[in-house]
Chain A
Amino acid sequence: EAQVTQNPRYLITVTGKKLTVTCSQNMNHEYMSWYRQDPGLGLRQIYYSMNVEVTDKGDVPEGYKVSRKEKRNFPLILESPSPNQTSLYFCASSLDGENQPQHFGDGTRLSIL
């Protein structure tokens, strides 16, 4: 089954404790991206990747890091999480860009205390 898998689905943690949210897709997609969803703001892109070792900033990259060492994986790293990063996070992938149908994971709800 074609899917985008995110882990964990839920996480409560404390300020400053490094965390990683994993994302993996099994569709051999070139393009992957991370969004955060906040009430009243819709989805805002954090980072995207056009291919292995090619990443770039989205609209709200501050406080986040990503890597794309393998085509299927695109982890999101919060080196020193802060309460304003409490949000619902989605990973998405598509064949080769933002104008192809995006396949979304089921989301990761992060709470930073």
Chain B
Amino acid sequence: AQSVTQLDSQVPVFEEAPVELRCNYSSSVSVYLFWYVQYPNQGLQLLLKYLSGSTLVESINGFEAEFNKSQTSFHLRKPSVHISDTAEYFCAVGGTGRRALTFGSGTRLQVQP
């Protein structure tokens, strides 16, 4: 069975500081990996995804994540956060044959001025 672990439930950070949101997964098969973001009172939106190819993937708003197969990790990073990045971030794994995504429990990023 696959599982996704997000090690931090909350991450407070000051504006313009760097941030890393950690995600580890377990699966016996090759996987696809995703980060979704949820702004207050909204549904989730896809932030970025790893399906194959380059292990470093980037989003249009400055986030990036690196797939590390040996460490089974897919950590999300941003070199300089903005107030508008305040949201909850979910890591998810697919491609396991279950026809469903398995989500982590989420990390709430709180950007302070």
A and B: partners?
yes
Residues on A lying within 8 angstroms of B by beta carbon are 4, 33, 35, 40-45, 48, 50, 56, 58-59, 90, 92, 97-99, 101-102, 104-107
**Contact assessment for A43 and B90 in the assembled complex, using a CB-CB cutoff below 8 Å:** yes
B74 → chain A closest CB, angstroms: 14
Chain B: interface secondary structure?
Answer: loop
**Contact assessment for B94 and A99 in the assembled complex, using a CB-CB cutoff below 8 Å:** yes
**Contact assessment for B51 and A99 in the assembled complex, using a CB-CB cutoff below 8 Å:** yes
Residues on B lying within 8 angstroms of A by beta carbon are 4, 6, 9, 32, 36, 41-46, 49, 51, 90, 94-95, 98-101, 103-106
Going nearest first, the 5 A-B pairs with the smallest beta carbon separation are: A104-B43, A42-B103, A43-B103, A42-B105, A101-B46
Known A-B contacts A99-B51, A99-B94, A99-B95; A105 and B43 likewise in contact (beta carbons under 8 Å) = yes
